[in-house]
Amino acid sequence: MEARSSGFSTMAPPAFDGENYQAWAVRMRAYLEGCDFWEAMKQDYEVAPLPDNPTINQIKFHKERTTRKAKAKSCLYDAVSPAIFSKIMACESAKAIWDFLKAEYQGDERIGSMKGLNLITKFERLQMKESETIKEYFDKLISIANQARVLGTNLSDNRLMQKILVSLPKRFEATIASLDNTKDLSQIKLAELLSALQAQEQRRLMRLEGSREGALLAKEQQNVGGKVKKWKGKKGNGSSGSEAAAGENSAGNSKNNWGRYSSCQHCGKKNHPHFRY
């Protein structure tokens, strides 16, 4: 973001609707500093009038100082919701707007202190769930710690380390014990701890996935081995195999019985009944 070269940042300022003022103030300050407008927010400086017969540099400096105040004020107008804009539209300078928003939404020191205590209590009670990943749990802790820091409550990285080590499920005990044996846990960095825990988590997931695939393969092989092929007999008129066999036996018996017929009255032979002549 190069406000000096483009004249004004093309990025929209962070929006504020009256909620989470502390987080918005941090983002808004970074935005204004990046646009080189923060000086106009810190103090409502006066722009001296141009002298008679000003030089080019004096004209340029006067214009920059004047437009910086106007652009800072415009940024705040763009950042707030319509409901909040109606409250600040009468403010004459960017600093007046900034001070009003701080007094209106941050509250006094007592309210800020109570918010900080609530965040600390939430931080202390937070425990990692079995269904969570280490990254999800770590992000929750970092979010609470950053909110508390904005309110003036310092949660150091060492405090975060201690919280992580005592609130993880049992499945991470082996990794923590290994780190404790090889390194000084009081000197290890948060990023290093997170990386080690994520590596163990990935190995565990891979083992579980392999176990599930092996169980499914064994089940499929068992099902295939347990199948019994059934003989359905001959295709034809829909008779079963036993019926077909019975028919063949009947036919065979009929053939064997032909020799027992009396002489045909037409031809005199005994291998068929007379009505088949």
Task: Give the tens place of pLDDT for each residue, 53-93.
Answer: 888 888 888 888 888 888 999 999 999 999 999 999 999 89
Range of the domain at 75: 3-106
Residue 35 has pLDDT above 50, yes or no: yes
Give the three-class secondary structure for 274.
helix
Same domain for 23 and 61?
A: yes
Both 153 and 60 in one domain: the answer is no
Place of tokens 């300050």: 29
Tokens 């949660």 label which residue? 155
Among 208, 197, 156, 155, which residue's Cα sits nearest to residue 173? 197
Which stretch of DSSP H or E encloses residue 52? none
Q: What's the pLDDT tens digit per position in 236-271?
A: 444 444 444 444 444 444 444 544 556 776 677 776
Q: Domain count for the chain, please give it.
A: 2
Query: How do residues 86-97 score in pLDDT, each as one tens digit?
Result: 999 999 899 999
Of 73, 106, 139, which one is at a domain's C-terminal end? 106
Averaged pLDDT for residues 138-143:
91
Is 72 a domain residue? yes
Which of 8, 26, 21, 30 has the alpha carbon at shortest distance from 84?
A: 21
- Answer yes or no: is 234 within a domain: no
**This model's pTM is above 0.75:** no
Q: Do residue 69 and residue 38 come from a single domain?
A: yes
Q: Indicate whether 87 and 44 sit together in one domain.
A: yes
DSSP 156-199: -HHHHHHHHHHHS-GGGHHHHHHHHHHS-TTT--HHHHHHHHHH
Q: Which residues of 113-142 are buried (b: 16+ CB within 10 A; e: fewer)?
A: eebbeebbeebeeeebeeeeebeebbeebe
